[in-house]
Amino acid sequence: MASSGKRQARFHGRIEGQERICAHPGCVEAGEFRAPAGRNPTFDGPGDWRFLCLDHVREFNDRYNYFRGMSPDEIEEAQTPYGGWERQTRAFSVNGSPPPRWADFTDPLDAIGARFRRVEPERKDGRPLSESDRKSLRVLGLGADADRRALRQRYADLVRRYHPDRNGGDRDHEKALQAVIEAYTQLKSRPAFA
């Protein structure tokens, strides 16, 4: 077995390279293991630590009880898998700066956008609709349950509205007219409208 230049740590959690004396009164061993000492970590920074030798950190760990001083109800609540989820929190602070825009995030799997995507309803008659069918129905302003008669009626109404011969020669709606014709042509031969 090849030996690396670095000595393997025998005990997990040992902090080497700093000369400290064990914080236990009267102990002169090296304080290589840290244990909480009073203040817990907060947003203001890490908590307070004291450094103990191996024997005294083992003694500390044997006496440590997270639930000391709690009532049975508080212990049960701390042990539930939903502990802390009932509190309302703010996603972003508004201390003078606006929250980030969704466009500022890289989302290669479309996880952010997918959450807000609307699910289109299925047809009541069970006939399948492809995504292009749904897109064409949106162009015509029809719902997923439209039948062949509603499709023809809506097509006729939109052609009358957008055709230059019917609206006084106004050619501003030519793109909309072309989209309506393409949508109707695509839908009229589909099984859902047969």
Looking at residue 5, its pLDDT comes to: 46
- The model's confidence at residue 94, banded by pLDDT at 50, 70 and 90, is low
> Which residue do the tokens 């409208």 mark?
193
pLDDT tens per residue across span 108-135: 666 666 655 555 567 788 788 888 888 9
| Domain hosting residue 55, numbered range | 12-78
Model confidence at 152: pLDDT above 90: yes
Nearest Cα neighbor of 28 from 37, 15, 19 is 19
Q: How large is the average pLDDT for residues 60-84?
A: 81
| Nearby residues of 184 by Cβ (< 8 Å), 6 or more positions away | 136, 140, 151, 155
DSSP states along 137-185 = HHHHT--TT--HHHHHHHHHHHHHHH-TTTTTT--TTHHHHHHHHHHHH
Is residue 137 in some structural domain?
Answer: yes
Question: 33-36 and 49-52 as β-strands: parallel, antiparallel, unpaired?
Answer: antiparallel
Residue of 72 and 18 predicted with greater confidence = 72
Is residue 3 in some structural domain?
Answer: no
Is residue 144 in some structural domain?
Answer: yes
Total of domains in the chain: 2
Give percent of the chain above pLDDT 90.
16
DSSP states along 70-128 = --HHHHHHHHSTTTTTTS---SS--SSSPPPPGGGS--TT-HHHHHTPPPPPPPTT---
Is residue 38 in some structural domain?
Answer: yes
Looking at residue 2, its pLDDT comes to: 47
Model confidence pTM above 0.75: no
Q: How large is the average pLDDT for residues 164-168?
A: 77
Is residue 107 in some structural domain?
Answer: no
DSSP states along 119-137 = PPPPPTT-----HHHHHHH
Looking at residue 100, its pLDDT comes to: 66
- The model's confidence at residue 39, banded by pLDDT at 50, 70 and 90, is low
Report DSSP state, residue 8: P
Q: Dihedral of CA 103/105/111/112: which sign?
A: negative
Query: What average pLDDT does the chain have?
Result: 78
Spatial distance between the Cα atoms of 137 and 154, rounded to a whole number of angstroms: 10
Looking at residue 1, its pLDDT comes to: 44
Q: How large is the average pLDDT for residues 81-87?
A: 67
Is residue 23 in some structural domain?
Answer: yes
Q: With beta carbons less than 8 A apart as the criterion, state whether 54 and 15 touch.
A: no
Give percent of the chain above pLDDT 70.
71
